[in-house]
Copies of this chain bind each other. A is one copy, B any other.
Amino acid sequence: MIETPYLLFLGDAPDPLAAKVAQGIKDWRPDNCVGQMRLEGCNADMGLEDMTLAEAKAAGAKTLVIGVANRGGVISDKWKAVLMDALDEGFDLASGLHNLLRDEQELAAKAAETGRTLHDVRIPTVKYPIADGKKRTGKRVLAVGTDCSIGKMYTALALDAEMKERGMKSSFRATGQTGILITGEGVPLDAVIADFMAGAVEWLTPDNDPDHWDVIEGQGSLFHISYSGVTLALIHGGQPDALILCHEPTRTHMRGLPDYALPSLEDLRDLALALARVANEKCEVVGISVNTKALGEDEAKSYLASLEEQLGLPAVDPYRHGAGRLVDALATI
């Protein structure tokens, strides 16, 4: 769908978190990344070679991917100048921003003139059905979190990578713009019309071989009041056979909601499981995935060990230590 390889545009990212789209692509599809392009004031770095458009083109890049969130929902003039040049140089553009490339008249005109494609991956391109709740063949696992932006996508990508490494059948099913930019396909669930959310997830995870796993990217959190409805549509549309609980131990409040505390992992387990069993009564919580980035190695290991004790489930940081034990647990389902 989106032509590879990519040049990753980091713009003037104020901090590394603003460039998390680029980070995700670089971490999970490094072979698709020719280099990075940064503007003055950029405080993110993927550790890729800094390139001009011409250098990236010479190195084979086909698409300039906007790997950074824009400030205030505006594509700045500085960005636009680069994007215009990129179209002139023969790049397609791909973006997951809320404000669309296609809505920028200059970009739309330039793309038409140069015959290039503008990929706005945040916009659904499919007319999704209303969910019918029918049982599908194949197996499904979904990551659910105590909060948003807590490692659900990385957990799913790590599970998928480990399953493929073992020769198991699996598909990472992207439900957000980063996931879609990484895999080139998926459902931009937060942009789907409310009535069709669960149906879009059913569409994304159709009948499959009995031993095939759909590894579904989670969104939001049941405990994040801004996005919890999206999370529940994933749980009911995905009909997961297994849930993985995701957590980040140093978060002091729900992301963007200073008055809201994080739930306990027990509360997440109980609530997510009660809801999941509406659609699939055999659903089980099989493990815990922790983003331990903020902890030292010893601290991370002792924290994970204490969680295992506390909840009686394997607890790992799949990005740091591999997803093997979570896949072991899934293999018993």
Contact = CB atoms under 8 A, between A and B. Distances in A.
Nearest to A230: B194
A257 B181 CA distance: 34
A254 B131 CA distance: 13
B198 A194 contact: no
Contacts of A191: 193-195
Contact of A229 (B197, B259, B271): B197
B133 A222 contact: no
A202 to B, nearest CB: 9
B223 A198 contact: no
Nearest to A135: B259
A288 interface: no
Nearest to A98: B195
A263 B279 CA distance: 12
Interface residues of A, number: 40
Nearest to A200: B194
Contacts of A254: 133
Oligomer: number of copies: 2
A226 interface: yes
Interface string A219-260: 000110111111111001100000000000000001011011
B226 A232 contact: no
A275 B271 contact: yes
A190 interface: yes
A166 interface: no
A225 B237 contact: yes
Contact of A192 (B194, B226, B233, B237): B194
29 contacts: A130-B226, A131-B225, A132-B256, A133-B226, A133-B257, A133-B260, A190-B194, A191-B193, A194-B229, A194-B230, A194-B233, A195-B226, A198-B226, A198-B229, A222-B232, A222-B275, A222-B278, A223-B278, A225-B236, A225-B279, A228-B278, A229-B229, A229-B230, A229-B231, A229-B232, A229-B233, A260-B278, A263-B278, A271-B275
Chain A to chain B: the 9 pairs with minimum beta-carbon distance, closest first: A229-B233, A225-B236, A229-B229, A190-B195, A131-B226, A229-B232, A133-B225, A232-B232, A133-B257
Interface of A: 130-135, 189-195, 197-199, 222-223, 225-233, 236-237, 254, 256-257, 259-260, 263, 271, 274-275, 278-279
